[in-house]
Structure formats: C-alpha cells, structure tokens
A and B are shown apart, each in its own frame.
Chain A
Amino acid sequence: MNVLPIVISLILLMAALTYHQMDSFLTRSVLRLEALCTLQNASQESTNQRQLQLYEKSEVKSGKTKEQNGKVDALKSINLTLFANAAKKDIGPDLQIHEILLKRLIAVLYGDRPFFQEAEQRRPDLIEELTAKIFEKLQEKVSENKGLRKVEKLANLQLDDPELELIFAKMLAPVQTPESFAAECASKEAKPVKKRYYPTLLDFVTFASGESKPYRVWLMPKELLLAVYQDPQVVSELMETRKALYGEIRKADKEIRPRVIEQSSSEFRVKFQAYLPFDMPQPLFNFEASNTDPKN
C-alpha cells in the first residue's frame, strides 16, 4: 500500500488548518489596531475640536471701523438671511443667483459622498426639495421673530420630513476623511493630511445683513469658487494667482502697498472676470485684492 497519498492528504489538512489560524490572526490584528487607533484619536479629538472652536470664536478687536481697516463690503459666504427675509423684502433677481449658487455648492460638497448619491437615487430632486424646505423654515422663523444668528442653528431646523432631516443631519455632521484616517492609523511617520474632515455646508453660509452683497472672490473658499466657475482648472489657476498676488502685496513696503493692492486687484479682475459663466452676473462678484490672506 502506498502511504504517499495519505501523508500528502494529512499535510494538506495541516496546511489548511495553519492557513485558517494565520488568516484569523491577521484579521484580528488589523481590526484591533484600527479600532485602537480610532479610539485613541477620538479620545483627544473632542478636546482638540473644542479648543479650535474656542480659538476661532476669539476675535481680537482692533477698535477700528471697517472703513478704517480698509475692509471690502462683500461676503465670502452665501448669505442665508436673504432667503429668510425673501417674503418680507424684495431682493430682486439677485436672489435667484444666490439660490443657484447654494444649490451648486451643495452638489460640489456632497455630490461624491455615497450617502448623498444614494439619497439622490431615491429622490432625484433632492437638492431642490432640501433648499425649498430650508428657505420655508427660515422664513417661518423670521415670521415668528425667531431669526437665526448662528449657522450652527441650521442643524435644529425641523424639516417635517424624517428622511430629509436624516440626510440634512448627515450633511452637517463632521466626518473624518478616509485619507486622513488612513494617514493617522497607517504609521506615525505618515505625512499629515491637509483635509481632516469633509467640509460641511455650515462652512460656506452665513447670516449677514438683509441686503444682497457681492461675493468676495479674493477670499472665497475653493468649494464656493467651484460652484461659481464650475471649472476646476480655472479655480485652481485663480487660487494660484491670488496666492502669488498676496505674496507680492505682503512683500511690498507699507508706503507703496496701497498701489500694489490696486494693481493686483486690476490684474485679478481682468484675468478672472472673463471666466464667469453667463448665469453669474459680474456686479455680484468683487475682485478686489487686499492684504488679507486668501487661505484654502
């Protein structure tokens, strides 16, 4: 009788058992490391986030008026007060432009997020429905004399539709990006990721005065610029240009700085006003440069 088949079968059996043990060990190790990393990061996260929020809230007052500071009367975010007051105050055709911009911004921010894509499959007019409901609820607040002052309070709007409320809650929740999570958990030497959290709608809206003000292109964040221009190449070029112009402004002596700012504004306007799409009227965009750092 040949023993070879029996020995080979037993060796194969042992190999299968060993493979199973190795596989479950590796899976457990990976899961354990990831869970540990997540919890360890989370243990410091709440403190860090709270301190950052407090830091952002602490504004040092210079004692000067806006005019003395050379501030430009334009906004870098979408002013939701316009929609809240729409029933009371006629803003004219500008309101429609702000609305288009808000809808495009939502598409830019959430268009590639799985929860939003799934929701759009169920409700193809999701952005329309959501913005209409938000405007309706903001107007209700104004009519009840409960106008909102902080953008965070948007999270408390009752949208009268559980599914819409759930989607809106997901839109406003701070969610860590997978790249940042992978970078934090992969190795200690990994390069830090610039964008730790997905930006939310709250980062791009504000409750300012009830008048329609132009948008400050010099300070507008990338996502809002994408909503305006809808061309990533133009936006990238715009951001590069304003960064370079800001460098020149900072380098200039104080005496000649106003002239440099004027020249930079002119250059910036000439270059990027032309790229504005047909549905974005030029008067609604301010191209003035300044010595404020155009971050992002």
Chain B
Amino acid sequence: MEVLIALALTGMLLSALLGVYWQVQVATLQGLKSEEKNFHLLHAQVRLGDVLNAVTSDMQKDAEKQTEHFFYLTENPQALIFTFDNGTGAGPEFSNVVIAKLFVDSDGKLMLYIWPSILRHPEESPPFRREELLSGVERVEYLFFSPATDEAPAEEGPTWPFERGGAPAIIRMKIFLKNEEKPLLFSFALPNISQRIIYP
C-alpha cells in the first residue's frame, strides 16, 4: 500500500515536472526560431554595412584610376553594382578594391557576388565569391540621397544609373520579405564621398 501511494505521488510529481520541461522546451524552440531569424537579419545588416560603408567611388580623392571605381543600379533585373574596399585579408584576388553585385535571385535570396577589380582581372570570366545574405526576400527598393553641391541642390531618388557616376551619400534599403507585412528598413551612410551633408 505504501509503495503504491509513494509511486502514485512520485508519478504525479514526475508528470508535473516533465510537463513543465515540455513547456520550457516548446518555448525555447520558439525562442530559438525567432532568435535565428533575428540573427540572420542582424548578419545581413552587418554584412551590408561592411560592403556599403566601404564603397569606393571616382569622387574619392586617392582613387588611383577612375575606371576602377563605379556605382550604379540596373533595372530589369534590378541589381546594385558597385566597387568597394574589401580590406587586406581576403587573399590576392579579393583584397582591396573588388566589384560587388547585390540582387534578389529567383529563389528569393538576397545575394552578394564579389569579383576582383577590373584592373587586376581584365579577362572575361574572373573568379568570384558568392554570399547569401537573406532568404525569403520578395523585392528590394532603394532610395539614394545625394547632398547639395555648388551646381545642384540635394536630391533623393530610387535610381542611380551608370551614366550618373560617383556614389550617393546615403543609401536607404527597403527589403520586402515574404509573409511579412512591414518591410525591413536599412540606411547606410557612405563615408568615402567628397560632398558634405548639411543637416537642416
């Protein structure tokens, strides 16, 4: 009799405890999922910041050769193509100035492709590196801000054609994700431009 009572009580206690653990496990898994999503977003933001903060343009004072640097947005299919300084630790092909292409592929992934600078690899099929920054992307909208100069007032627009040359001072990216109502908003200030931004 004593054994039965003890077993029944312990069984109840164990069930309650395991029930709590189950709840904790479910909550943890949910947390991990949202955490993973947040980390992916943070990673995408950090990586975009890395490359866009290092954009090189022909306005840069110490640009060695003007032809090595460019920045433009293509339409249909949309892709942001620019040169940036990749630092010194990426091997002989991908160190210093490299060419980047940022676009959403057919699988809804925000992709970053990197090629060596034209000056180092003038041939037709140079080596490249591929990075997936974000998945489940529907589309990306850009807004380029150009500060006022002596010749022209400040302007903001969704396009930056090749003919325009130079680079904007601020890039705003609106990333529309599938199954998400609100788009992600990222802003990056390009430090290499020679124009001054005057805040009113």
Contacts and interface: CB of A to CB of B under 8 A. Distances in A.
Interface stretch (A92-100, A165-173, A267-275): A165-173
Contacts, number: 99
Contact of B7 (A6, A13, A173, A174): A6
Given A156-B96, A173-B88, A202-B88, A7 B50 contact: no
B152 interface: no
A104 B54 CA distance: 33
B21 A17 contact: yes
* Interface SS, B side: helix
B45 A47 contact: no
A32 B131 CA distance: 23
Nearest to A166: B91
B89 A174 contact: yes
Range of interface residues on B (Cβ < 8 Å): 35 or more
A60 interface: no
Range of interface residues on A (Cβ < 8 Å): 35 or more
A152 B88 contact: yes
Interface stretch (A50-58, A178-186, A237-245): A50-58
B90 interface: yes
B21 A155 contact: no
Contact of B43 (A18, A32, A39): A39
A274 to B, nearest CB: 38
Contacts of A17: 17-18, 21
B46 interface: yes
Interface in B95-134: 95-96, 120
Nearest to B24: A21
Contacts of B191: 47, 50-51, 54
Interface string B19-59: 00100100010001001000100110110011001100000
Contacts of A200: 88
B30 to A, nearest CB: 13
Given A7-B10, A43-B45, A174-B88, A50 B54 contact: yes
Interface in B71-93: 87-93
Interface string A157-195: 111000001100110111100000000000000000000
Nearest to B97: A156
Contact of A21 (B21, B35, B39, B46): B21
Report the 9 A-B pairs with minimum CB-CB distance, sorted nearest first: A173-B89, A155-B95, A155-B88, A172-B88, A3-B6, A169-B91, A46-B50, A46-B53, A39-B42
Interface of B: 2-3, 6-7, 10, 13-14, 17-18, 21, 24, 28, 32, 35, 39, 42-43, 45-46, 49-50, 53-54, 62, 87-93, 95-96, 120, 189, 191-192
